[in-house]
Structure formats: C-alpha cells, structure tokens
Amino acid sequence: MKKSRIIILSIFVIAVSAFAIIDEEHRLTNAHNIPTAYTLNEGEILIGIGPLAYGITDNMQVGTNLLADILGVFNANLKYNLIDNSGFGLAGGAGWSYFKLGDDNFNSINLSANASFLLSETFKIHLGANYAIIPDFDLDSTEVTGSPAGGTSVPVNIELNLNEHSAILAGAGYDLSFEAVSFGASYLHSWEKFNLQVGAHYSSGDGWDYIMPVIGLWWRW
C-alpha cells in the first residue's frame, strides 16, 4: 500500500509540468506545483513526461497524464479560463481518474479554481483551491493516510520571471483533509519549444513525510 501511495504521489508531482517560453502569448499554464489561471492557445499541443494537453480554444484546454495512464491511473482533465486581462486571471477546472489500491478500484472526481495576479512585469502570484472526492474511499482510514488522491487543499505559488527563457517558481500549501503542509521550489528554463523544469517538493502530514523531485521535460507548439 505504501508503495502504491508513493507511485501515485510521484504521478501527481510530474503531472503539473506544463509550461512554454515565457511571454504574453505563452504564459505558464502551471506554476511550481499547481495550475495557473491560464490555458494553452487554440490549436496548441503540449506533450512531455506525463502531460498531454490540447488547446480547444484560447480559453479552454483538455488533457491527460500519459505516465499515469501507463501505470494504471487512467485520467482526464479540463481547464476553462473565465477571466483573462492584463493583471488578473481566473479559471475553473475538473478532472477524473480511475485507479486501484490493493484489491479495490476507485473513481476520483477533482474540482479546482485558480486565480493569477500580475504584480509586476516579472512577478506573479497564483492561488488555488482544490477539492477531490472519491466515493467509498475512507479518508480517515489508517491504511490510506497520505494518499494525495483525495482531500481539500489550498495552495499558493509564486512566479519570478528572470527573462523570457527562465523563471524561479515556488509554492506552499495546506491540505485540510489530511492536515498536511507542503512546500517546494523549482527552476524553469524555456527554449523555443522545448522546456526543462527541475526542483523538489516536500509534504508532511500525520504519519508521513515525502521529499519528491519535480522534473519536467516537455514540448509546446
């Protein structure tokens, strides 16, 4: 069971990697470990270690995590940008995943809201609220303590753009369901289409502590 939880956690850390060259046309769709309020442009495709996403319109994208699918955590997600102006963005998202823990199969429904604030030409703050529900999944069970697949969390991330090719990202969060805290940071470098992100993220709750690498390699065109 513990091994399964670590695998699922790794998947969710990798799944957030989704960026491109940093300018007004290609704003980050994810910060350090949470989605931003921005989406891919219409017709854009993003593919990397895990994430696969497509911009249906300039304010709506759909996607999945291929690595999670290969490991048996079948999933799909959608993000819709509600407000997008020069200083503020707001988006809502929904996701579904199907996975197995032990001998049991579970469906997870995830709902999220994300807001992005431009405080200067180089600095943004990204706020999030995430709610996941898994029918017949006992969050109080000691057997599943530490699973990242369910719960309510409120993260905050910062984005410091050093130039159009690099940024420093950092984030912290609190999970209300598991009474867990997390924080971490990463460095992002973007070329014309290829992107690299490296960093680490730490999570601590009742009975577990994890330090996970944040590694992202992806293309956006």
pLDDT tens by residue, 85-98: 989 999 999 999 99
**What's this model's pTM, rounded to 2 decimal places?**
0.83
What is the Cα–Cα distance from 96 to 74, expressed in whole angstroms? 8
Q: What is the mean pLDDT of residues 27-39?
A: 94
Residue 75, φ and ψ in degrees, nearest 5:
-155, 160
Domains along the chain with CATH numbers: 2-220 (2.40.160.40)
What pLDDT, in 10s, does the model give residues 68-120?
Answer: 999 999 999 999 999 999 899 999 999 999 988 778 888 889 999 999 999 99
Distance of CA 133 to the CA centre of its chain: 17
What pLDDT, in 10s, does the model give residues 141-193?
Answer: 544 444 444 568 999 999 999 998 999 999 999 998 778 999 999 999 998 78
Residue 95, φ and ψ in degrees, nearest 5:
-145, 155
Given a contact cutoff of 8 angstroms between Cβ atoms, the answer to whether 153 and 35 are in contact is: no
How many residues appear in the chain? 221
Of residues 73 and 11, which shows the higher confidence score? 73
List CB contacts of 208: < 8 A, sequence separation 6 or more: 5, 145, 146
Beta strand 123-133 pairing with 74-84: unpaired
